[in-house]
Each structure stands twice: as C-alpha cells, then as structure tokens.
Amino acid sequence: MRSPRPHSHSNARTSSVLSTRRDVLRALGGVAGVVTSGCIGRLERSVTGGKQRSVAESDPEYTEASFGSYVDQMRERYDDHGVWGTEKGPTGTERLSLVGAWSDNWTLRKPRTPSDNGRQIRIPIDYAAVLYRVSGSDDQQSQSQTHHLWMWAGADPKQSKKGYGGTTVVELSVAVALEGTGTLTSHIPKTSVGPEDAPVQVQLSGSDTLGPAAPLQIPAGRIQPAPDGTNVGPNGTFDLDWTGAHGSPVSVAGVCELQRPPDREFELTLSCEASGSQGTL
C-alpha cells in the first residue's frame, strides 16, 4: 500500500505495487475497488479495494470510555484478532493519556455474475487508530510533545452457504500519514514477522514499560512495514502490510511515535487496503 495522501473519506484509491502477489492482483484489476477476475494457478476470482479518512487531533471520534465499547465490539467480532490482540486492553499506559481515537469500516466485495455460478467475495473490514500523549513530554522547556499512535485493522472472510464460501484474505494493510505538521520518529514492527514469532509483543523499542503494548497473533502469512510507504521524519508515514492466504479472521497492528510543536496539532490520514480471492495463489 502506498503512502496515503489527503482524499475523500470513503472513496476507493489506486494502489502501488509491493509484492509479487500484489503484482498479480493489480495486473488483473489495476485500480483499487475495481472488481477483478482471472485465473492464475487455482486463483479463480479476486478483488482489491481500500478506504481512507482524514482526522484531526482536536476532533476525536471516541473518548476513552466510548472507545472501550468499540474495543469490546471488535473483540466479539474478531476474537483474538481485535484491537488489542489477545488482550482486553493495552499495557504500559500509566504514563499515557488518551487524546482520541477514530475508526471506520468497509466491505471488500465482488458481486455475483452469471459466469460465477452464484459465488461472490465478501470480506467485512474494520480499522482504527488510537492517539496517546506521553506525560512529561510537554513541559515548558520542551520544544515538542511526544505521542504514541496505535493503529489496527481486522478482516473476516465470510464463509457461508449463501454463495461466498472458499474466500481468503490475501492482503490487509493499515497506514497513517502526517499531513502538514509533526514528525514520525519510530515504529514497530520494523521487520517482517510471522507465525513462528507469534504472539508478537507490539511495543516501541526501548519502551520497557511505556505503551501502548499488546500481543499480536499471526495465524498465517507475514506482517512487515511497506518499504515504499514507510518514511521516518517530518510529515512521515507508516504503512504496515499483512500478506498471506487465510480463510478466517486476521488482523494487523502496529505503533509509532510522533512528535509535534506544543502549539500545533496533528492532522492525520488513516488508510486501509485489502485483497481477497477465491481459490489459491
């Protein structure tokens, strides 16, 4: 998934190439959100799409209390792949104060056609971001305020007898871009992680007790930062991708450190992308 840029809240967007699997999907369809079909190996049908929204630090969608209700809903929907992985909440938040949180949802789908024998792809997707301020980073001598941003996405390929069985998620991405102010100083994960590493403790390096932190299950595939969509520095971006093939709920989550001048506020673009198929690559 490429670095997100300002866009309307709900429109699909074009994606850049990140991997062989994504090359295949883009060759079949080209533009995110456009239904694609073809046959590569046993890949019978595929679809790729995405959604993004712009948010401001001063206009949170959730307070700490209301976000807890959202977390409970996502845990019920995704079980161990909810916002905080296998836990009900994050650890290491003693020195953090929740500034705000935002969420969105969409459905990756390919409708039935006569040639598909009534089959369809339908994958509900949720994504969210939680912004925390680090206590003590905004004293009078400080030239910047430090924040930690947790971002998460979950996908649930529906398997039923209503014509969309055999669906797999093959790609799930979540990303953030700083727009106009602030610096992205670090992020986790930094490298590729997979099932052999799970549960992966997602926590900023060097933050032994400073969160937010949570364990991430990886039932299949790999999670890693997109090299062409992750940039540390002013107006930085953090783009985290899961790639694999999985027919049950799957999630991707990461955390990054942001800094800004005390007299400014963050403006962020949050993005989520996914690809799904029926058959195997």
pLDDT of residue 14: 27
Question: Do residues 3 and 175 make contact, with C-beta atoms less than 8 angstroms apart?
Answer: yes
State the Cα–Cα distance between residues 75 and 13, nearest whole angstrom. Answer: 28
The more confidently predicted of residues 162 and 225 is 225
User: Which of 20-34, 207-221, 259-273 is modeled with the greatest confidence?
Assistant: 259-273
Type of residue found at 84: W
Is 60 exceeded by the pLDDT of residue 201? yes
What's the pLDDT tens digit per position in 59-110? 999 998 899 999 999 999 999 999 999 899 999 999 999 999 999 999 999 8
What's the pLDDT at 214? Answer: 95
Kindly state the average pLDDT of the residues 160-182.
Answer: 83
Phi then psi for 85, rounded to 5 degrees?
65, -125
* Residue in this structure with the two tokens 């933050």, named with its chain if needed: 207
Q: Model confidence at 149, in pLDDT bands (50, 70, 90)?
A: very high
Beta carbons within 8 Å of 167's beta carbon, 6+ residues apart: 121, 122, 123, 157, 158, 159, 247, 276, 277, 278
Q: Which residue has the higher pLDDT, 5 or 48?
A: 48
Question: Are 236 and 183 in contact, with CB atoms under 8 Å apart?
Answer: yes
pLDDT reading at 216 higher than 60? yes
- Mean pLDDT confidence for 221-227: 95
pLDDT at residue number 135: 86
More confident residue, 53 or 112: 53
What's the rounded Cα separation, in Å, for the pair 255 and 131?
Answer: 10
- pLDDT attached to residue 244: 96
